[in-house]
A and B are shown apart, each in its own frame.
Chain A
Amino acid sequence: MPLASRGPIAGAEGIWRFASRFEVDVPTSHRITLGEGGTPCQEHVELARTLGLERLWLKREDLNPTGSHKDRGAAFQISALMAEAKAGDRTPGWLTISSSGNAAISAATYAAGTPLNLAVFVAPGMPPARLQKILEQGAYVIVSERAISLCAEFAGAHSLANLRPSTDPLAVIGFMSLGWELREQASEADSVFTFASSGTSLVAIGRAVEQESANHWPFSLHVVQGSSAHPIAAHFDRRMVVDQSGEVGAHGARKTRRLGEAVRLISRSSGSGWIVTDSEAHAASRLLDLQGINVAIESAASLAAAQRAAEAGRVRRAVVILTGARRTTTETTDALSLDLVDASDRPAGFESGPGPPPRLFHAESVEQVQVALGWRP
């Protein structure tokens, strides 16, 4: 759904309810939304009993417009960049992002209703169904063996914003709305569990809560990661469950710039980290299915972590953040099979040919990206 169909919001809804708390001011006229944020935090009595908890709430971030909490960051990032361009009387141009996950889908969806063009840099193994969602939103896709560094190089060479959440401070600001909502909704909880890849949203939750709580944490913060990549959780969970082919967090980073802050926030909250195996996550997923809740395996892993924490006597009243909706089977198993256009072979005047110009390219250098996007040298 293009943003233009909704237009700027008149009041304060979703993440924009917290507009006065954001470090970067975005005028009302530039706040874009698809209804992200303001997600329910639902109590589940039977599930709590099954898991050995006194009480359990599920924070339904999977109900965000594109099915993940990444919408919070994307809505804020793109709104802030639009406002910045307007303030500088500059014509909005291009944005970039490197992501093979939900962040790319969010960015493409939120950029779709704006004058901004978006170039998404992805690794060759990205599932085609996910890729198709990005293309449907009108974004350009660059497939590269070094998607992250090529995106950074291209953005740096042309002074473009790079929306990658793990490196963009604006993403953290948008995610802080989740922390403020939890402060309101989790007042009876003693703990919050969330899956993390780079830890950006976790850091945002921590910053938001500390900002509001004057060094008195209302709940302990727990990070959940899978057996294939667990740079943050490994500082707390000493289980040797390394499985390079693990499904939970399979696309997760093994190194993250958010590590230090994430570990310190968790420690100050008296929380912990949990490395969850695929079998533990699948068992939790089946429990959620019985409740009619179909979420990604990473969200189910957070539920499994809460169960382990309850069994260890660490928590009694938990909030589990369901960070993303379940994707289709095809999407999670297929390898990239869409036809790619090799940017180095793109002829002059290419875009004037019959039919819509292609927006899916293979490129490995800044120059090839420029050609792919139709930029003249």
Chain B
Amino acid sequence: MKLLGMDLETDSPSISSAAICPACGKDVELEQDIVVGEILYCEHCGVELELTAVDPPRLEVFEEEEK
């Protein structure tokens, strides 16, 4: 299983611990064990973000599914 902090299969260390908020352009700190698809808040602008990739880490503004 691939986590940002490490790959549980290879136990490799994390590559990065921050990504850019697409809404305000500021750095968002990422916990080491964050997973792809996880939803988090930008502490600078308050927007909900989704982690869409880990290598390199990429954030997108979270859009609620209407189901």
Contacts and interface: CB of A to CB of B under 8 A. Distances in A.
Interface stretch (A20-28, A141-149, A278-286, A332-340): A141-149
Interface in A140-170: 145-149, 152
Nearest to A238: B1
Interface in B1-19: 1, 8
A235 B3 CA distance: 9
Interface string A252-275: 111111011001100100000000
Interface residues of A, number: 23
Interface of A: 100, 123, 145-149, 152, 231, 235-236, 251-257, 259-260, 263-264, 267
B66 A251 contact: no
B35 A123 contact: no
Nearest to A254: B65
B62 to A, nearest CB: 7
Given A236-B1, A255-B62, A100 B67 contact: yes
A149 B34 CA distance: 25
Interface of B: 1, 8, 33-40, 50, 62, 64-67
Contacts of B39: 255-257, 259-260
A259 B38 CA distance: 6
A174 B17 CA distance: 34
B37 A255 contact: yes
A314 B3 CA distance: 22
Nearest to B38: A260
Nearest to A149: B64
A148 B67 contact: yes
B34 A148 contact: no
A257 B39 CA distance: 5
B64 A267 contact: no
A235 B67 contact: no
B61 to A, nearest CB: 12
Given A267-B1, A267-B8, A253 B67 contact: yes
Contacts of B65: 148, 253-255
A251 B67 contact: yes
28 contacts: A100-B67, A123-B66, A123-B67, A145-B66, A146-B66, A148-B64, A148-B65, A148-B66, A148-B67, A149-B66, A235-B1, A235-B36, A253-B65, A253-B67, A255-B37, A255-B39, A255-B50, A259-B35, A259-B38, A259-B39, A260-B33, A260-B34, A260-B38, A260-B39, A263-B35, A264-B33, A264-B35, A267-B1
A148 B37 CA distance: 19
A264 to B, nearest CB: 6
Nearest to B39: A257
Nearest to A260: B38
B14 to A, nearest CB: 15
Contacts of B33: 260, 264
A252 B67 CA distance: 7
Contacts of B62: 255
A263 B67 CA distance: 22
A256 B35 CA distance: 12
A252 B38 CA distance: 16
B67 A259 contact: no
A254 B28 CA distance: 24
A251 B64 CA distance: 14
Nearest to A257: B39
Nearest to B37: A259
Nearest to A144: B66
B48 to A, nearest CB: 8
Contacts of B50: 255
A231 B37 contact: yes
A256 B8 CA distance: 22
A46 B40 CA distance: 46
A149 B67 CA distance: 10
Contacts of A236: 1
